[in-house]
Amino acid sequence: MKELIRNWLSLYKDRRKKNQLQILLGTKLHTFINACEYIVIEQTGENVYTKVRDLGGVNNFGMLMHYSVKNNEPLAISKIEMYKLAERENRFLQWQKEHHNNNLAAKPFGITEKTEKGYACFVSSVLAEPKQFSYTKAKNLYQRLGGNPDLLSYLATNGKKEALSDEIDDSTNIKSILANLISKFGTGRAEEFYKELLSKNKTLFSLTLTPPVFMDLQESMQKSYDVLSTVDIPSYEGLVHGDFKVQNILEDDELYKVIDCQYYTYGIRLWDLAFLYSKNEQFHGIEHYIDEFELIEERLFIIFFYLLAIIVNAKKKRITRISRNQLLPALEYLKHLLNTL
C-alpha cells in the first residue's frame, strides 16, 4: 500500500510539474522536449527518453533529464531558463571546452530556440554529486578557473576580459555584490555599496548583536577595506564564477567541475572561496582553510567577503545561530588579522 501511495504521489507531482511548465513556456511541452532530445541525439548518436525533474532556482525553472534508451543511463540534462541566460551559460561552456579541454564544467550540447515567452533549454552532459564534498578539491577547481587569465578575452563579447564585469546586472543580492563590489573593488562606488549593505542589515542583526558589537563590525570591516584598497588590485582579479557553492560543484571522474555558470564576471577572484565557505554553518569548520593562505591580504579578502556573504543572505529565523556560529567568530578572526598588520 505504501509503495502504491508513493507511486501515485510521484505521478501526481510529475503531472503537476508538466502542467506548470506548459503554462510557463507558452508552447506545447512535448514540442519543447523534442527540441531538447534532438540536440542530445545529435551530440551523442543515441536514442533517448526524457523525465521532468522538479528542480529549479532563482534563474532556472526546471530540468529535463535525458536517458539512453539502450541502457537507461542519463546522457544529458536540460535546464529551462530565460534565453539570454541560456545563451550566456552556453557561451561559458563552449569557451571552457575550446580553451580548457572541458576541465572546468560539463560538455555543452547546445540550446533550443527561444519560445514565444522568451524561454529556452540549455543542454549539457551530466555530472555527478560528490559522495563526500572536499574543500581541497573545490580549491583546486577554483585555481583551475583562474588559470590562463588572458584566455578570458575569448569569453567576453567584445574581446576584452575586463568587460565581463559590464555583463552582470544587479537583479539579485549576489549579482548586486558582483556588479558593485567584486568587479569594482577599490573604487568609491564599491566602498559606498558595502557600507549600504551593512547599514540595511543593521536592524536585522540588532536582534542578536548589541549596538557596540555591530559598530565593532563596521569599524573592523572599514579597516580591512582601507588596507585592501592599497594592494595591487589587478593581481587579485580574474574569472569569478560568482555562485561558487557546494550545490554548484559536481564531479566528473573525481574531477570537480562547476554548474550554473550564469553569474561569471571579472573581479576579485577570492570572492568565490569566501562565498563557498560562507555556506558552512560553522566558521570554525572552515577557518583552517583560510589559514592555508600565506598572504595576510588573501585572508583579509576572504574574511571580508565571507562576512558580507553571511550578512546579505541572513534570514530572521536563523539570525541567532548565524551570529553565534559564523559572524562573531569571523569578526574575532578579522580583528586578529588586523592586529598582526
The pLDDT value given to residue 323: 94
- Looking at per-residue confidence, does 173 or 28 come out higher? 173
- Looking at per-residue confidence, does 52 or 281 come out higher? 281
Mean pLDDT for 106-119 is 93
Is the predicted pLDDT of residue 119 greater than 70, yes or no?
A: yes
Residue in the block written with cell 510539474 = 17
Mean pLDDT for 81-108 is 96
The C-alpha cell of 144 is what? 583551475
Percent of the chain with pLDDT over 90: 78
Mean pLDDT for 76-101 is 95
- Looking at per-residue confidence, does 117 or 280 come out higher? 280
What pTM, to 2 d.p., does this model score?
A: 0.92
Residue ranges matching CATH 3.30.200.20 in the chain: 2-124
SS3 for the chain is CHHHHHHHHHHHHHHHHHHHHHHHHCCCHHHHHHHHHHHHHHHHCCCEEEEEECCCCCCEEEEEEEEECCCCCEEEEEEEEEHHHHHHHHHHHHHHHHHCCCCCECCEEEECCCCCCCEEEEEECCCECCCCCCHHHHHHHHHHHCCCHHHHHHCCCCCCHHHHHHHCCCCCHHHHHHHHHHCCCCCHHHHHHHHHHHHHHHHHHCCCCCHHHHHHHHHHHHHHHHHHCCCCHHHHEEEECCCCCHHHEEEECCEEEECCCCCCEEEECHHHHHHHHHCCCCHHHCHHHHHCCCCHHHHHHHHHHHHHHHHHHCCHHHHHHHHHHHHHHHHHHHHHHHHCC
Highest mean pLDDT among 61-65, 198-202, 276-280: 276-280
The pLDDT value given to residue 58: 64
Of 23-27, 152-156, 215-219, 306-310, least confident by mean pLDDT is: 23-27
Mean pLDDT for 241-268 is 96
* Rounded distance between C-alpha atoms, residue 190 and residue 179, angstroms: 9
Mean pLDDT for 15-20 is 66
Residue ranges matching CATH 3.90.1200 in the chain: 135-339
Is the predicted pLDDT of residue 12 greater than 60, yes or no?
A: no
Mean pLDDT for 303-312 is 96
Is the predicted pLDDT of residue 63 greater than 60, yes or no?
A: yes
Q: Which CATH number fits domain 2-124: 3.30.200.20, 1.10.3720.10, 3.40.50.10860, 1.10.10.10?
A: 3.30.200.20
pLDDT in tens, 44-56: 999 999 998 765 5
The pLDDT value given to residue 117: 86
Third-level CATH fold of 135-339:
Aminoglycoside 3'-phosphotransferase; Chain: A, domain 2 (3.90.1200)
Mean pLDDT for 235-251 is 97
Cβ neighbors of 164 (< 8 A, separation 6 or more) are 152, 155, 156, 239, 264, 265, 266
Burial of 18 (0-12, 13-18, 19+ CB in 10 A): middle
Is the predicted pLDDT of residue 9 greater than 50, yes or no?
A: no
Q: Average pLDDT over the chain, rounded to whole?
A: 91
The pLDDT value given to residue 11: 44
Assign 254 a pLDDT band (cuts: 50, 70, 90). very high
Mean pLDDT for 303-328 is 94
Mean pLDDT for 225-237 is 96
